Every structure is written in C-alpha cells, then in structure tokens.
Structure 1
C-alpha cells in the first residue's frame, strides 16, 4: 500500500491542476444531482418487526382512523372551557379542522364519550386531531392549516386564554445549523496555524474537509430518492466529515513539512508524506468506516442507513486527503519548507519537544501509579452510566420556545403527564358476539391497573373485527413508570386470551418509542462484542503484538464508559445543563450509545495508530523499549494533540445550539475524544508500555506469520527507497540479495546462512545445499512467498519483503520434484519474468529432465534452480543461458561462481 500511495502522491503532485478540477467537477455533479433528486428528510424512527410497529401496521388496514399521524390543540382559559363563549369558539375551530383534506377524525373536548378530554379543574381541554396517513405523508399545508386555526382560536378566546398546537405530528423538528457550529472551524484554524506554522499550510486541511463534506452531503440528499433518511443522518456525517477531513489532511501536511525539513524535494516530500501518513490515514479511516457500517449489526434500518451515510462521508474524506492534499502541496511548492527561524520557534513552542518530553517522562516515571490513577478517575466518571435510560425524543425535548413544547408543557400542567403520549391497546375481536360489551370489559380491567390515569376510549371499528382501547398513563411518555405499564399490559396477553379469546397488542407513539429503545438497548452487547473483537484483530495485525491490542481495547472501554457517564450526568441528571443549553432532562435518545460506541472506536484507533506506530517503529530500529516509548511519543504527540483539539472543537460546537437528537451524541464524542486522546492514549498508553517493556512487543511466531501485515508507517517503502540504487546504480539484475537470513518453512527452525548473490536478467543460477529445506527456504523467499528474518533482497527491481505481492505476480515457483516437466510447461504459459525450480535433483527420469531443458531453452525468463548436488541440475537448465551457482555450505556469504567449472 505504501508503494502505491507513494506513486499516487507523486502523480497527484505533478497533475495538481487536473486533480483539483476533477474534485471540483465531482462536487458540482453531486450538488446538481442532489438538487434534482432530493426527496427531503424524514425524522420518523421505526423498527419493523417490533410489537408496536406490527400493531400499528395492522391498524392502518383495519382501523385507519387511529393509525395515522395525530396532533393536538390544547385550550386553556381561566374561566373554564365549558363557558358558552369559549365552547362556541372551540367548536368553530373543530369544524374548521374537519374541513381539512387530510383530516380523518377530529374529537372535540366536549365529546367525552368518544375520547374528548377536559381537565378536572375545567380550565383546559384538548382537541384531538387524527389525520389520514403517517407523519411523513402529511403535507406541510396541513401542518400550516392546524397552526393557523390554533392562532385564530387564540385571537377569539377571552383575554388570558391560550390555544396552543402540538402533539406527535409536531414533536420532531428538522435540525439546522447556527453560527455556533462555525466556532469549531475557527478553533480549528487557530490550532492549524499553531501546529503547521503558516496560513497556507493551515488552509489545506480546511479546503480538504469542506470539499469532502460538500460531496458527502450532496450524496446523502441524492440517496433520499432511494429511501427515507432521518434528519440526524446528514448532521452526523457533517460532524464526522469535518473532523476526520481536517485531521487526516493535518497528518499528511505535517509529515510533508517534516520531509521538507529533512531536505527532500517538494515532490518527493509530498510522495513520502502520502505514503507514510497516508497509509495510516487509510487504516484509521477504514476502522471508522467498519465501525459505522457495523451499526447494521443491530438490524435497525434507520441506524444502518445512518452508519452507511457517515461511513461514506469518512471514505470521501480519506479519498480527498490522499489525492487532493498532495495536489494542494504541489501548488504550494517550496513555500512550505521550514526555514531556520521557523524550526527554532517550533522547538520553543509549548507544543514542542520540551513539553512532550516532560509529559512522557512524568507519566512513565512511576507507571504503576499513573495506570491506577487513570483507571480510578475514568472508572469513577463511568459510574453514572450505570443509570442510563434510553427513549426516543418527544415534544418535551424541544426548545422551550417551540409551540409543540409549549403544548406539551400545558398538557403536563393541567392533565396527567400521560396525555402527552397515550397508549393504544388493540385487539382482534372478529370472533366476539358482543363487541361493545367486550370493549367495555377490556376498559374496566385496564382501568384498574396501577399506573393508569384514564381510559377515555374503548371502541370497536365499524366492521367490528378490531377494537382499540386508549390508555392514558400517569407517567410521562419517556418515564420508567410508563414503560412498566406497557410491560404490565403485555404480560396480561395470556389472561385476555383465556378470558375473552382475543389477542392484544400495545402500540401508539409511546409504545413504538419504548420498543425502539429496547431493541437498541439489546443490540449494544452484540455490537460491543463485534467492535471490541474487531479492535483486537486489527491492532494485532498493525502492531504485531499481543499486549498492545489488549491495552488499546481496554483503553477504548474506559473512554466509552467515561463519555457515557458525562452524557448521563448532563442530559439525564441535569448537571451543567444550563451551560450546554439543555432545555429538557430525562432519558437519552435511544441510538446515542450505539452510535457513540461505533464512532469513538474508529477515532480511538486513529490516535492509537498515529501514536503507538511511531513507538513501534523506534523499537524495531533500536530494541530499546523504554527509549522507544519516549522518542515515539515526542515525535508524534504534537500532531496527535492538534488533531484531538480540532476534533473536540468540531464536536463540542454542535452541543449548545444543536438538534436535540444530535446534542448528546456530539457531547459524547467531544468528551470521548478528549478522554481517549489525552488521558488514555497520551497518559495511560505510555505508562503501560513503559511498565511492560520488551514484553509489550511480543507476539507468537506462528500468529505473526498467520496474520497479514499492514505497513501503516511506510517502513517497507523506506526500505525500498534505500535500496533504489542497490546493488549498483542503474543496475538491471533480476535477483540480488545480501546477508539474507532465513527460517526453515517446515520446522520453523532458523537456517544459519547469510545468503548473498546477484543474477542478471536472462541468466540461470543454482542454489545448492545438502539440506533440502535450506534451499527451499531461499527459493521461497526470493519468489516472494516467505518473509526473510534479515538481510536485503530485490527481485525484478522490487524490494523484499515490501513488494512481495508484486514479486509473486511476476515470479513462478515450481516444485519439479513432484510434477516434473508438466508444471513447468503450465508456469511458462503465464510468461513469468523469473522461473524458480525447486528440488531439481528429484527428477530421476532422464527423458523428463530433457523435456524440462527443452522447455527452458529459448525462454526469456531468468531461471533460479535449487538442488542438493551440482551434477543433478546440469541437464535441466537452458542450454543457451549463462549459469552461476552458490553453495550454501561453502561460505557464510555465498558468492556466484561458474556452474560448468564446478562440474568439470
């Protein structure tokens, strides 16, 4: 990957105008498509398959008057709503509501026999509005009509009276953006200026993020033509797109400046920055995307859509970062090269070397104390999360100035709180011979249940096959008391079946919300297992360690616990609610924990990769575990700090004026980023690694060979660049190796040979040793199929093991000892540049040996043959090619010599 990104960076730098035009064209096309295909957003949250949703779907067929969207107008007057003057105006408003095209049933507060409601003190009454169709099917004109009727009623009522509209139809508002969110970008600019040292460099991450976010937002609105998308989805994608877009570009630009400071040309510096930091960006972005797509584990459609949309935003941020950033670096040219004064001022910066050297020395001086302190503090912060309650937001979570919130508060003031979220008990009564009597019996039994405030309506539908009972709980829609009542009614299903021969279901807006919350809550554990398991596997592949992934995963769990704890304190318990402009405290929006877990997992892995990979790089080069922690931390902490501050600023800017759905997610992400970056990754991680020492980087050999390797820091690319002029400048050797140390592929035991030779293209070379496994190890290594334990090697100009995949695609390996000439024939059909023949001495049939030689004679491929004896290989090699040999037994470093001389 690093080699590919190196090439991509060079090309994007050179073709910078083309790259910029292409991305602008993508943005323009996506924006145009969004304008043409946009179908609007949908804030309705449903989960197919839950009891409440299934019952609601059945009611839409059997009792449509009760299944559609609903609204309310509450009338409050000091003299009482039964006053003739007030009653006349309310009835007039009811008639106006009945004339609406989408009106299904309008119930006056004075029709108490069919659900009309007047408060006990007589001062308030509720006009119940039932509409034809789901909330998403209700026209804006209908909503405006209800609003106008309520306003005109307010004007006609006596002084001191109020008429306010609200209910489930108005309970969801569509989020927007305010100037507060832009403050996050202002802070990002300041941090970028401090970190990168120039306005030109600081502007690149912003351009990168804004272009990526623009494209991803356009694609989300295009996707509305394919299905419903909640209004929270683009906001989540916007937050993540801005945060990762700025951070990923920051990593690349910062690495570019480091390469420039080391003396590289601008083009070479951009290529190396994309190859090294870009590799880490791709891995980090991939972890975020996998975690977001993993939200589909819950099996909840709207959550899956949200995760996929956010993952697309992150993917676009990654693509823009590795293509547009090197193009922008091309426009900047030499202007980003740090000057002597800039280097000195950066060294004196509070974000410079001395600060972070002092930090890492402090946290590693007594690592046991640091670990215990961090675990204790974050464990304490996580305690409130044990009381976390989940629910879907209703009108009570809207801003106080919202009319629906005002209606909600008026109803709570004059009626039992359950009037803001009534339950509907539905039953199939087709077998009943007395539908009215049956419904009265059900009403009587439900009225006696604890937690029931009122049962204003119990009626069959016109065809007497379905009945409904409207139940008003004593508690608020999002209260634990109401949830217990729903569970209690459902627990009586067997009793009602045995007594009346009917099956009941509990539905309604409140019951749907309870079922959604339960489903999301039950999905947390399997999703957590997937995320934690994924983190273990991915980090094991990246860091080639057992301890590092376990430590990273435990740190992630501490971050999650602390962020959930803080969100619970603020949004549920009301701590600092005024500071964060929280109008309503109570249960947290149902999908917040699972979204927070997924997103924070990816972001935590970002910091783990960018910080610990530098420590691992230092350890691989020096084998000094304690020093590697210090040097790796100092070299990467400045950029990680800047990235975390930027991400924190972007997230926290969405809290004060954000949508009620996004506020707890934004605060949770802000707290999670702060805790994970500064407390877990920059405090706990160095302490743990210092405590473990060399054991931190231990990994079983078999597991190391079984897992694929990710070159996130571009180590292989650096090796390849170092070998660019080896074994000689301008050389065209097909195979070259020096100091190669190998392991027996069958036993895993080391083969103590330092192998070194060079083979020109088109020539033939023989590797000989009495130990057949040693010869096989050499051949497998030089064909890109076995990783060497040391030394350096190039095949067809590609360094091993960095370019092993490319070598395998051009080098054919044939075990002629098992197949003879036929596998050689098949291999030559692929026209390999190098043909490796193993165990040539095992071909005993002279005719078979001649056929192999005939196949090889005239071929353009370089031939590398292995044998346990020289004479046995003589008659299988091509007659026309120059032949050399190395004897692994003869020399610690085998040198090429003439095969004909050895034989004769």
Structure 2
C-alpha cells in the first residue's frame, strides 16, 4: 500500500482530477433514477408466473393487491332502495375514475353479493384493481388520488366512504417520508458532530470528503449495471447511508494512524506512507471482506435483492480505492494545517478504552461469561422469528386516517383484514373451485378473458397471520385437485419468496462466503484461530440482532417508540439484508481491532498487553465509526414504511451490540483467554495458505497471568 500511496502522491493531480470527474459523473448518474426499477420480481416461481399471467390478461391484479372501498349501509342493508341507488353511483364513479380497472362489488356481481356484505348487513365493500403504474414505488400512486377525488362527495347511508388497501397502509402516508438526499444530509450532519469531537480540528471534514467522493462515484457503476441487469430503487438508500458509514470508517482508520505516526516523530510524508502501509492494508482487507459478505445478496435469484448486493459490493471497493489513493494525497499536501484549530498535540490512544481493555483482560473469564449470558438473552427471542408481511393493524398506525378508518370498519364488521390481500385463483374456462370452510370465494362474470376465469378468495384473518397462512394452504390444496388451476396473489407470492430466498441454495451461499472470508482473514491475520473466533462472534452478533428485531417488531416490546404495535412478522427480505450488511460491517471492526493487536504482538508485547494496547488504539475509532453508522440507520428509519423501519432497527441494533458487547468485551476477553494460541499456525496450514506465522521481535513474556 505504501507503493500505491507513493505513486498517488507523485501523480497527485491525476488522482485528484480522476476522482473529481468520477464523482461529478456519479452525481449526474444519480439523477437518472428512471433506469432503476420498482419491481419485486420472482422469475420462475409458480405464484409469480401466475400473477404475471393475470396481469397480462387483465392488465391489473396479480401481486398487486386491490384497493378496498368500504361503505356503511343504511337500515335495511343491501335490500334498501337507497343503498342500491347509492352503491350503483359509487360503482359508476369508480369505473370512470380508473378506466380499465377490474372491480367487484355487491352491485357489479349480484350472484355473489352476500360475499361483499358483513354478517350484520350494515357494511359492504368493493374490490378495485386499477391498472398499476410501475414507474412509481406505489403502483396506485395515480389511481388512488383519482378514486379519492371521484368519491369525495359520495355518501352511502349518509356517511362518507373509506378507501383502504394493503398498498395504502404500507405507504404509511408518503407525504411525511424523507428523501435519500435528506436522509444522507441528516446522517452526514450527525457524522460531522462525532468527527468534530474525535478530531477537534479540520480533520473532521476529511472523512466526510472521502464519503462525498465515494458515494457518487458508486452511482457510476450502478448506472452502468442498469444496462446489464435490473437495479432496484432501494440501492439509492443502501449506497448513500452504508456508503457514508463505510467510507468514513476507512478514512477514520487511515487518518488516525497518520496522526499517530506524526506524534511518534515521523515527517509528514513518512507518516502518510506509514499509515498507508499499516492502516491502508487493514482497509483493503476489510473492504474485501465486506464485499464478500454482500455476495450473499448478489448471488440470490431474486432480482431486487441481487441488485442491492451488487451495489453493496461496489461501495466498499470504491471507498477503499478513494481511501488508499486520494486520502494520502490530501494528507501529504495539507499536512499539519488540517490540525487547526487544535492547540494540544493529538493522542491516538484512548484512556477510556485502555482502561476498559485492562479490566476485561484482568476479568477475562467473568467478561466472557457475562457477555455470553447477555447475548444469549438477546438471541432467544429470535428462535420465534416469523417471516411475512407486517400485519395490517401495525401498518395502520402510520397510514392516513382514511385508510386506517377503512381497515377499522372491515375489522369491526367481522369482514376482517384478509380481504386486503386476497388470493387470486386462475381457473380454466368451464372449471370451478369449491372454497374450503371459513374462506370466501368470488367469481365475477367480468373476470373472464383469454380462456381463463379469475376468482378471488380470502378469510377474515390477515394473510400474514398463522390463520391467514392456514387459509392459503387450504386454498392451494383445493386448487391442486382442479386440473389447470393456479394460485396467485400477493400471499402466494410471499410464500414463494420465502422458498426462493431461504431455501437450500442460501445455505450453500453462506457456506461459500464463510470459507472465503476465513481464507481472507487467515492471510490477513496470519492465524487460523483469530478468523474462527471472528466468524463465530459475527454469527452470535447477527443472532442477537435477529432476536432484537423479533422482540421489538414481531412481539411489540418497544415498537411503541416507533408509534407502531407489534407487526406479528418480520418482512420477508429484511433478515437476509440484515445478514449481508451486518456481516460485512461487523467484520470491518474485527479486522481493525485484530490487525492492531497483531501489530502489537509482533512488536514483542505479551498477548494480554497486545490486547490492551490494541483496544486502546482502536476502541475510539470503532465506537466513533459505529456511532456514525447508527445515526445513518436511524436516518434510514425516518421513512414511514414499516419494513424500512424494521430494517433500520435491525442494522442499528446489530451495530450497537457488535461495537459494545462483542468487540468491546467478548472479543478481547477471548483473545486474552487463548493467549499465544491465537497465533498458532501448523506448518501444513502455512504451506496451504502460503502465510508465515507472526514472530514477535522479542519473545513474549512467560510471566503468569493476572
């Protein structure tokens, strides 16, 4: 790395201009979000293919759940002339508002009218499948306002109608959402505050500058990838906020080491080259491990997750490249001027973390036992983690008043939340399906086209609940005995999503990533036990994060902080995204800490002393970087969508657990417990991995442990 830094300094203007051009090009590319996709495709999966068939034939429906128009009927219910007149007007207004929509109601489907009315005869609803708009995150972003305007003056039984639906509830009132730019600015301001406290000088701006170059440059790669594969709009959030944290982490490590070398008496140029040789090497290995971990997403057969993985793999690599080329140039050119207005000489050793590390080493057994007990308590709730869409009742708390009132009317009347996400059944012409007990099935005559007839089926239970899952299983069993029948709709596609994402292929991917990460760490740390320990600690850190997710969101212990009740399930794609992102980010900190402990051990310190000095030098760096990442994920949680809040909670909780309990106590305690065995390296392993064992400059002390 020193040679690359030397070359960059010698060609400083080439380096500066090249990164500036790439950043400007990336900023322009980031504006071309029309090339990004809002789709959540599952090619090859049965329910997805059925939904595509429905969409091709009817132009609506499939995985796009209907809008539900809820009305309160007058005395006499559906048989009332007043109700019939008002419902016909309502039906006509809806059809005019959204031409081409597929609808079903008590008046448009007289044969199945009873299916659209509550048992007490006072509440009815209409199902509306508008033609979806795939250029927006919300497929009904145009249809919903049109229906709302058309029905604003409509009264049924003297009361206004309510418009709700799965997509309306999930949107959470989009007017209050924060854009990617706002999220990034909020996280950047928080990062600047942390960096100002750490450096107390103009150096606080340097890591942010590196992030400001790395993030837009990544969009150049993303824009290029849009010509080869589908890239989801979610990559904007991931790249902006994860990129902010990763780029700052890498710059923070290099700048901190540069400071340390200058404090040791080196000239500015020598300090730059020394920091590139030591911290720069750590940054490279760290960036590679983050990239490898995100391959878990890039290797899936789910396009939108694959795009997140590809974009996620770009950001650490580009952050590394900026940190080992442009950053040395800036440090060499600016030198001590970046320390203004600090008066006192900077110190790279944290007294607080040195004290903590010394306590952990002295009480290594108690520290290990206590940390494991606390982690175990956090892991236990994770065993009950249930995958699914957040339940409608949870999403209603952040939705519009009208959407929430519509859901409440469905629930209070006994119709239930199941109708928000009905299962769609494709039947060949002339075939019929008998609905299982407890399940309502409608077959409007108008839903007949291209030789197929579509039926909609639902139970009173939310499709995300156990009862809703049971209803779907019963419908699938009933459809299996009808030749040519196919099951579609969003609940069926969710089930396929779980099978596609969490099937046997996932475990193969995780196994490959684990082996590759082990090999990389073994070469970086010149050890086999340190990588094993790092991987095990990552595993329990992730398990603890899943436990926190389950505890807060699925079970509702603390979800009140987000103004939301228990969701009853964790969004399908969130656990894998949390795994991929946290695995890499957590390994970042492990590499930072262990490479410094290795360096101290190679300098002749005992294992215990190497731990104390290593943590003393890196503790403040890790805690500062973690705090910045937490702020970034809190900013990500500023959007109203429940699933994004769940993701941000998992990432923030995982970073906090990892930077405190895992890396602050458990990791140093375990290194201290193993002592010199940490660096035991059999000759056969040395030959296979082509690495040499660390040989301390002076033999480590053989004095007994304290």
TM category, shorter: 0.7 to 0.9
2:107 pairs with 99, 106, 110, which one? 110
**Aligned partners of 1:137, 1:647: CA distance in 2, in Å?**
31
What's the CA shift string for 1:312-341, capped at 9, x where partnerless? 222222222223322332442222469996
**Residue 250 and residue 115 in structure 1: after superposition, are their counterparts in 2 closer, same or farther (change >3 A)?**
farther
Give the alignment of 1:882-893 within 5 angstroms: none
Is this contact kept in 1: 2:262–2:268, CA < 8 A? yes
Give the alignment of 1:188-337 within 5 angstroms: 188-198=191-201, 200-217=202-219, 220=222, 228-336=230-338
The answer as to 2:473 corresponding to 1:474 is: no
**Aligned partners of 2:28, 2:529: CA distance in 1, in Å?**
50
How far did residue 273 of structure 1 move? 1.9
**Residue 641 and residue 70 in structure 1: after superposition, are their counterparts in 2 closer, same or farther (change >3 A)?**
closer
> Tell me, what secondary structure is at the counterpart of 1:284?
helix
Give the alignment of 1:42-81 within 5 angstroms: 42-60=37-55, 67=62, 69=64, 71-77=66-72, 79=74
Is this contact kept in 2: 1:297–1:526, CA < 8 A? no
The answer as to 2:162 corresponding to 1:164 is: yes
| Higher gyration radius (CA) | 1
What's the CA shift string for 1:527-546, capped at 9, x where partnerless? 43333333322222221222
Deviates more, 1:367-376 or 1:633-642: 633-642
Is this contact kept in 2: 1:86–1:157, CA < 8 A? no
**Aligned partners of 1:251, 1:286: CA distance in 2, in Å?**
16
> Tell me, what secondary structure is at the counterpart of 2:559?
coil
What's the CA shift string for 1:613-646, capped at 9, x where partnerless? 1111222231622222222222222222222222
Q: Match for residue 851 of structure 1? A: none
Q: Match for residue 641 of structure 1? A: 623
The answer as to 2:658 corresponding to 1:670 is: no
**Residue 314 and residue 410 in structure 1: after superposition, are their counterparts in 2 closer, same or farther (change >3 A)?**
farther
**Residue 61 and residue 685 in structure 1: after superposition, are their counterparts in 2 closer, same or farther (change >3 A)?**
closer
**Aligned partners of 1:640, 1:332: CA distance in 2, in Å?**
25
How far did residue 60 of structure 1 move? 4.1
Deviates more, 1:671-680 or 1:153-162: 153-162
Q: Match for residue 493 of structure 2? A: 512
Q: Match for residue 756 of structure 1? A: none
Is this contact kept in 1: 2:258–2:274, CA < 8 A? yes
**Aligned partners of 1:666, 1:139: CA distance in 2, in Å?**
19
What's the CA shift string for 1:703-744, capped at 9, x where partnerless? 112215599xxx99xx9xxxxxxxxxxxxxxxxxxxxxxxxx
Aligned-residue RMSD, C-alpha: 3.4
**Aligned partners of 1:236, 1:18: CA distance in 2, in Å?**
30
Q: Match for residue 595 of structure 2? A: 613
Q: Match for residue 773 of structure 1? A: none
Q: Match for residue 31 of structure 1? A: 27
Is this contact kept in 1: 2:426–2:454, CA < 8 A? yes
Q: Match for residue 379 of structure 1? A: 376
The answer as to 2:700 corresponding to 1:702 is: no
2:528 pairs with 534, 546, 563, which one? 546
**Aligned partners of 1:69, 1:565: CA distance in 2, in Å?**
31
What's the CA shift string for 1:854-897, capped at 9, x where partnerless? xxxxxxxxxxxxxxxxxxxxxxxxxxxxxxxxxxxxxxxxxxxx
Is this contact kept in 1: 2:295–2:513, CA < 8 A? no
**Aligned partners of 1:193, 1:130: CA distance in 2, in Å?**
53
> Tell me, what secondary structure is at the counterpart of 2:461?
coil
Is this contact kept in 2: 1:385–1:561, CA < 8 A? yes
Q: Match for residue 94 of structure 1? A: 91
TM-score, scaled relative to structure 2:
0.87
**Aligned partners of 1:144, 1:43: CA distance in 2, in Å?**
15
> Tell me, what secondary structure is at the counterpart of 2:34?
coil
Is this contact kept in 1: 2:68–2:420, CA < 8 A? no
How far did residue 568 of structure 1 move? 0.9
Q: Match for residue 700 of structure 2? A: none
Give the alignment of 1:829-844 within 5 angstroms: none
**Residue 243 and residue 68 in structure 1: after superposition, are their counterparts in 2 closer, same or farther (change >3 A)?**
closer
**Aligned partners of 2:144, 2:641: CA distance in 1, in Å?**
24
**Aligned partners of 1:535, 1:68: CA distance in 2, in Å?**
38
How far did residue 112 of structure 1 move? 3.9
**Residue 74 and residue 58 in structure 1: after superposition, are their counterparts in 2 closer, same or farther (change >3 A)?**
closer
**Aligned partners of 1:92, 1:225: CA distance in 2, in Å?**
48
More strand by share: 1
Is this contact kept in 2: 1:216–1:316, CA < 8 A? yes
What's the CA shift string for 1:821-850, capped at 9, x where partnerless? xxxxxxxxxxxxxxxxxxxxxxxxxxxxxx
> Tell me, what secondary structure is at the counterpart of 1:39?
helix
**Aligned partners of 1:366, 1:378: CA distance in 2, in Å?**
18
1:360 pairs with 345, 351, 357, which one? 357
**Residue 340 and residue 643 in structure 1: after superposition, are their counterparts in 2 closer, same or farther (change >3 A)?**
closer
How far did residue 203 of structure 1 move? 0.5
**Residue 92 and residue 191 in structure 1: after superposition, are their counterparts in 2 closer, same or farther (change >3 A)?**
same
How far did residue 222 of structure 1 move? 6.5
Deviates more, 1:524-533 or 1:412-421: 524-533
**Residue 553 and residue 67 in structure 1: after superposition, are their counterparts in 2 closer, same or farther (change >3 A)?**
closer
The answer as to 2:502 corresponding to 1:521 is: yes
Is this contact kept in 1: 2:100–2:130, CA < 8 A? yes
Q: Match for residue 418 of structure 1? A: 418
Q: Match for residue 806 of structure 1? A: none
What's the CA shift string for 1:379-400, capped at 9, x where partnerless? 1101111111112457663623
**Aligned partners of 1:665, 1:710: CA distance in 2, in Å?**
41
> Tell me, what secondary structure is at the counterpart of 1:376?
helix
Q: Which has the higher contact order (CA 8 A, sep 6+)?
A: 2
Provide structure 1 residue ranges, at least 5 long, that are not aligned to the other structure: 430-434, 720-904
**Aligned partners of 1:319, 1:124: CA distance in 2, in Å?**
62
1:652 pairs with 613, 616, 634, which one? 634
Is this contact kept in 2: 1:180–1:656, CA < 8 A? yes
Give the alignment of 1:777-816 within 5 angstroms: none
**Aligned partners of 1:73, 1:251: CA distance in 2, in Å?**
54
How far did residue 674 of structure 1 move? 1.6
**Aligned partners of 1:585, 1:307: CA distance in 2, in Å?**
26
More helix by share: 2
Give the alignment of 1:547-586 within 5 angstroms: 547-582=529-564, 585-586=567-568
Is this contact kept in 2: 1:69–1:131, CA < 8 A? no
How far did residue 681 of structure 1 move? 1.7
Is this contact kept in 1: 2:67–2:128, CA < 8 A? yes
Is this contact kept in 2: 1:655–1:667, CA < 8 A? yes
How far did residue 131 of structure 1 move? 3.6
Deviates more, 1:49-58 or 1:697-706: 49-58
What's the CA shift string for 1:571-603, capped at 9, x where partnerless? 111111122343662211111111111111111
> Tell me, what secondary structure is at the counterpart of 1:377?
helix
Is this contact kept in 1: 2:39–2:304, CA < 8 A? no
**Aligned partners of 2:392, 2:102: CA distance in 1, in Å?**
22
**Residue 512 and residue 626 in structure 1: after superposition, are their counterparts in 2 closer, same or farther (change >3 A)?**
same
1:447 pairs with 436, 440, 446, which one? 436
**Residue 34 and residue 219 in structure 1: after superposition, are their counterparts in 2 closer, same or farther (change >3 A)?**
farther
The answer as to 2:667 corresponding to 1:685 is: yes
